[in-house]
Homo-oligomer: A and B are copies of this chain.
Amino acid sequence: MGSVNAPPALAANDLPPGYRFAGIACGLKASGKPDLALIAADQAVVAAGLYTTNQVVAAPVLLCRSRTPTDGVRAVVINSGNANACTGTQGEHDAMQMTQQVAETLGVPVESVLVMSTGVIGQTLPMDKITAGIGRVCTGLHHQQAAFHAAADAILTTDKARKVAARSLTLGADTYRIAGMCKGAGMIAPNMATMLSVVLTDAPLSVEAAQRVLAFAVRHSFNRVSVDGHTSTNDSIILLARQSEQPLDVLAVGQFQDVLTELCIELAKQLPADGEGALHVLQLKVSGATCETDAEQIARVVAASPLVKTAITGGDPNWGRIVSAAGIAGPKIDVSRTCLTILGVPVFLSGQPVAFDNVSLSQAMRAATLVDCELQVGDGPGEAVFWASDLTCDYVKFNSLYTT
- Give A residues with C-beta under 8 Å from B: 53-57, 83, 85-90, 120-124, 186-187, 191, 228-233, 304-308, 310-311, 313-321, 323-328, 332-333, 335, 338, 347-348, 351-353, 358-359, 362, 391-393, 395-397, 399-404
Residues of B close to A352: CB separation below 8 A: 87-90
A55's contact among B120, B122, B327, by CB below 8 Å, is which? B327
Q: Is the CB of B56 within 8 A of A327?
A: yes
From known contacts A324-B54, A327-B56, A404-B362, infer whether A311 and B121 are also in contact, taking CB-CB under 8 Å: no
From known contacts A88-B351, A230-B306, infer whether A333 and B55 are also in contact, taking CB-CB under 8 Å: yes
A354 → B minimal CB distance (Å) = 9
A243 → B minimal CB distance (Å) = 35
Q: Is the CB of A324 within 8 A of B187?
A: yes
Residues of B close to A89: CB separation below 8 A: 352
Residues of B close to A326: CB separation below 8 A: 55-56
For A398, give the chain B residue with the smallest CB separation: B310
Secondary structure of the A contact surface, majority rule:
loop
From known contacts A393-B393, A393-B396, A399-B306, infer whether A86 and B233 are also in contact, taking CB-CB under 8 Å: no
From known contacts A56-B335, A327-B55, A328-B230, infer whether A120 and B320 are also in contact, taking CB-CB under 8 Å: yes
A198 → B minimal CB distance (Å) = 22
**A326-B57 Cα distance, complex, nearest whole Å:** 12
**A187-B362 Cα distance, complex, nearest whole Å:** 21
A403's contact among B122, B124, B186, B358, by CB below 8 Å, is which? B358
Q: Is the CB of A122 within 8 A of B353?
A: yes
Residues of B close to A313: CB separation below 8 A: 396, 400
Residues of B close to A86: CB separation below 8 A: 320, 323-324, 348, 351, 353
Q: How many copies of this chain?
A: 2
Q: Is the CB of B121 within 8 A of A187?
A: no
Q: Is the CB of B307 within 8 A of A230?
A: yes
**A366-B59 Cα distance, complex, nearest whole Å:** 32
For A58, give the chain B residue with the smallest CB separation: B324
Q: Is the CB of A55 within 8 A of B332?
A: yes
For A377, give the chain B residue with the smallest CB separation: B55
A401's contact among B57, B187, B314, B402, by CB below 8 Å, is which? B314
Q: Is the CB of A353 within 8 A of B88?
A: yes
From known contacts A55-B333, A396-B396, infer whether A232 and B404 are also in contact, taking CB-CB under 8 Å: no
For A348, give the chain B residue with the smallest CB separation: B86
For A312, give the chain B residue with the smallest CB separation: B400
Residues of B close to A317: CB separation below 8 A: 403-404
Question: Taking each of A86, A231, A332, A359, which has the highest tally of chain B beta carbons within 10 Å of its own beta carbon?
Answer: A86
For A329, give the chain B residue with the smallest CB separation: B55
Residues of B close to A231: CB separation below 8 A: 328
Q: Is the CB of B402 within 8 A of A318?
A: yes
The 4 closest A-B pairs by CB, nearest first: A121-B320, A314-B400, A56-B327, A310-B399
**A90-B353 Cα distance, complex, nearest whole Å:** 10
For A304, give the chain B residue with the smallest CB separation: B229
Give 13 new A-B contacts, CB below 8 A, not counting A56-B324, A57-B335, A230-B324.
Answer: A57-B327, A88-B351, A89-B352, A122-B319, A122-B323, A124-B353, A230-B305, A230-B306, A314-B399, A314-B402, A318-B402, A358-B403, A392-B396
A117 → B minimal CB distance (Å) = 13
Question: Taking each of A55, A319, A347, A362, which has the highest tally of chain B beta carbons within 10 Å of its own beta carbon?
Answer: A55
